[in-house]
Structure formats: C-alpha cells, structure tokens
Amino acid sequence: MMKLEFDVSTSGRTILSQGAVQNLGLYLSEYNCRSIVVLMDTGIQASGIGDRIVNIITGSGLSCSTITDLAREPGVPDVDAVMEQVRAADPDCVVAVGGGSVLDVGKLCGVLTRTDKGILDLLDGEVVPEHTTFTIAIPTTAGTGSESTKNAIIAIPSRNSKGAVVNERLLPDLVILDPELTLSLPASISATTGMDALCHAMECYLSKKANTYSDLLALDAMTRIARSIRKAVNIGTDVEARSDMLLASYFAGMCITLSGTNAVHAMSYPLGVRYHIPHGQSNAMLLPYVMEYNLSAMPEKTQNIAACFGYDETNTEKTAETYLIKELHTLLQDVNIGTSLSAFGARYTDLEELVNSAFTNRRLMDNNPVALSEEQIGDIYLRLLGSQE
C-alpha cells in the first residue's frame, strides 16, 4: 500500500473560467498592482492575445509596459537580457502570457527582479531569493503546466544542457486559466503541448515519489487528455475539449511539484538542446518506448492508466500493457506527431553524447520506477533514429 503522505505547494490563487482574462484589471486592482510588465513571445504578440491583455490592463487605468521578444526555448543569456529590462521597469507586478518558456521566465522575475543575481547563480545552486514581485501566469497553451509548478527550466548553451531551478518561491501568486486563449492554437502546437501534459501525468503517476495526491491528479489529467486531445487538435474551437486540456495541463503540472517526472524528460532534454526539437514533441516521441520499460514494472498502475484510455480487460485478450503501448503509438499518429529523430538532423554518431547527457541527469533518472542502463537508453534513441516518417 502506498504511504499516505505528501507535501504540496500551489499557486496563491487559481481561477478557471471561460473569459476569465477579461477580469484581469479587476484582479490587478484587488492586489494593489499599479505598475505592470507583460511578458510574451513574438507568437503571442502576433496572435493578438498580447494586445488584448495590454488593452485590458491600460483600460483599467493601470501603467503597463511589454517585453515581447522572449525566446521560445530560453537560455541563460535570454533570461539575463529579460531581467535587465524588467529591473529597469521596476514593476510591482509581472504578467507572463504564453507557453511554458514565457511562464518560467515570469516566475523567475518574481524572485530576481529586486536582486542582482543572475539565472546561472540559481542554476548552480545558490539560494533562491525571496519572492518579492507579484506574478500572474496566464497560459495560452495546454501542456507545460508551468503555471502550477515550482520549476523553471532554462537552457545552458555553454554546457550544451538544460538546468532547473526548483523552489516553491517560484510559484505564481495568481493563475488565470481561460480556455478562450487556447482556441486559436495551431493543431501542431495543440498536439505537442497536449502530449507534454500527458507525459507529465504518466511519468508522475509512475514516479518513485508518487503519492496519494499526485495519483489522484494524474489519473484525472490522463482521463481528460485521453478523451479530449484529439478534439482539441482536430476541432480547435471545441471549448469543452480546450477546457479539459487546460485543466489537465494544470493538474499534471501540480503532479510535477508533488512527485516529479523521470526518464522521458531526462532523455528529452538533450534532444531539445542539441536539435532544438520542441519539448512536447521530443517527450511524445520518447513516451511509448520508455513506457515499454516502465509499465512492465508496475502492473497495477498500468491497469489504471489503460483504463483512462478505455481499456476493459473483460472485452479484450490484450494485456493492459500491450493495449496501452499500442494506444500511445496510435495517439501519436492521430495527432500527427512524427517519431523520427533523423528528421531533426540527429545522426548515429550523436548517440554517445545523447546517452551520456540523459544517463547523468540523475535528478530525473533516479526518480524512474526502473533503473535504465546506458545500453537501454541507447536502444530507445536507436529506435527513434531508425524510425521513418
């Protein structure tokens, strides 16, 4: 029986409602925020969502400036450049609007704005400063769950790796989950971010640190994703499916804070750094292959996950494990996610470096339900290198 204990940290306040972002000015006034910096990337600016957020803020009589050039996969130099701009503006509130990378930077602003520390200091283990700047996270994708985690993942180009700052001081003060902001997401981004959320929920459910609370959230998230991701990808204006995915992403993010991801993410990070593969894409590619190792070690939990995807042992001769692996491969096909590393420029000569990077990420690998050897990690990469579109 699982040990009945957990340690949960969450955002100060979370609001889920269609059209909730219209009340942003009201929330800012409620928390006595008067000088606001809005963070976004060029995609959000081009979509019109950024202008909508700014107009809501300024229409409420509040001062607002914007930073619109955030990198999609920010590295240390990107974060330092943003922090320089934020410190110059000296806001009492930072509103981060966008996907996981923007939200991660926004959360870092909460602790770095009023210090002279650089992001590399925190990545190298220095104490995370006090949370001094009010932060609001408004996700426009349903996948990363950054709005509900205490993590910020930042690339370190000089080391050809990614690092994580993990501390509850990063948690935002207010999260606004408005499914309307996800309706215009392209199908490809809906697919990769949705699969990212599925990876979070599934890895955390099978994690060595899994607990009663994380299991509850993970199962709910997986059920919502299983029934709604295809609709969200193929019928983007389906508000119910978008709401399902947004809440699933939030719950899966909470799972990261409660129990943590493992081998899929450990193997995904070097793919993002080396080939600039979108994070959700690389996670999705790896998921079925890593699960072939993980599911066999946890038959009872495998049965529960398979049930989220419609498995009924009384109506099939397949085992839950066989059913689920096939379902994951089918899902990737249905949402049009390719599984060939070669398509991104990966070569067999890169294998040793990829394996070493993944294997030495002990923060994640040690949380995997089974110990994966370097040979097994290499086998998974080889299968993706050998895949054909």
State pLDDT tens for residues 303-316.
999 999 999 988 78
**Beta-carbon neighbour count of residue 134 at 10 Å?**
21
The pLDDT value given to residue 72:
81
The pLDDT value given to residue 388:
40
Residue with tokens 């902001």: 181
The answer to whether residue 3 sits within a structural domain is no
Q: Are residues 103 and 240 in the same domain?
A: no
The larger pLDDT score, comparing residue 158 to residue 267, is at 267
Query: What is the average pLDDT value for the chain, to the nearest integer?
Result: 94
Q: Are residues 213 and 270 in the same domain?
A: yes
The answer to whether residue 196 sits within a structural domain is yes
Decide if pLDDT at 289 tops 70.
Answer: yes
The answer to whether residue 7 sits within a structural domain is no
Decide if pLDDT at 291 tops 50.
Answer: yes
Q: Nearest-CA neighbor of 338 among 329, 351, 326? A: 329
Decide if pLDDT at 1 tops 80.
Answer: no
Tally of domains within the chain: 2
Residue numbers of the domain that contains 204: 187-385
* Domain termination residue (choose one: 115, 150, 182): 182
CA 220 to CA 350: how far, in whole Å? 38
Decide if pLDDT at 389 tops 60.
Answer: no
The pLDDT value given to residue 173:
98
Whole-model pTM? 0.94
- pLDDT category at 6 given cuts 50, 70, 90 is confident
DSSP state of 285: H
The answer to whether residue 86 sits within a structural domain is yes
Q: Nearest-CA neighbor of 92 among 63, 116, 115? A: 63
Q: Nearest-CA neighbor of 245 among 97, 143, 102? A: 143
Share of the chain above pLDDT 70, in %: 98
Share of the chain above pLDDT 90, in %: 90
CA 29 to CA 32: how far, in whole Å? 5
| Mean per-residue pLDDT, 8-25 | 94
Q: Are residues 140 and 289 in the same domain?
A: no
CB-based contact 178:164 (threshold 8 Å): no
The pLDDT value given to residue 23:
97
- pLDDT category at 2 given cuts 50, 70, 90 is low
The answer to whether residue 348 sits within a structural domain is yes
Tokens of 225: 């994703």
Q: Are residues 227 and 363 in the same domain?
A: yes
Query: Tell me: the pLDDT tens digits for 332-366?
Result: 999 999 999 999 999 999 999 999 999 999 999 99
Query: Tell me: the pLDDT tens digits for 106-140?
Result: 999 999 999 999 999 999 999 999 999 999 999 99
Q: Are residues 211 and 337 in the same domain?
A: yes
CA 84 to CA 87: how far, in whole Å? 5
Question: Over the range 118-133, which residues count as b (16 or more CB within 10 Å of their CB) and which as e?
Answer: ebbbbbeeeebbebeb
Q: Are residues 176 and 217 in the same domain?
A: no
The answer to whether residue 9 sits within a structural domain is no
Query: Side-chain half-sphere of 25: how many Cα atoms within 13 Å?
Result: 14
The amino acid occupying position 367 is N
Q: Are residues 204 and 139 in the same domain?
A: no
- Residue 109's domain is classified under what CATH number? 3.40.50.1970
Decide if pLDDT at 85 tops 90.
Answer: yes
Tokens of 73: 């996969």
Decide if pLDDT at 3 tops 80.
Answer: no
* Domain termination residue (choose one: 149, 182, 215): 182
Query: Tell me: the pLDDT tens digits for 214-268?
Result: 999 999 999 999 999 999 999 999 999 999 999 999 999 999 999 999 999 999 9
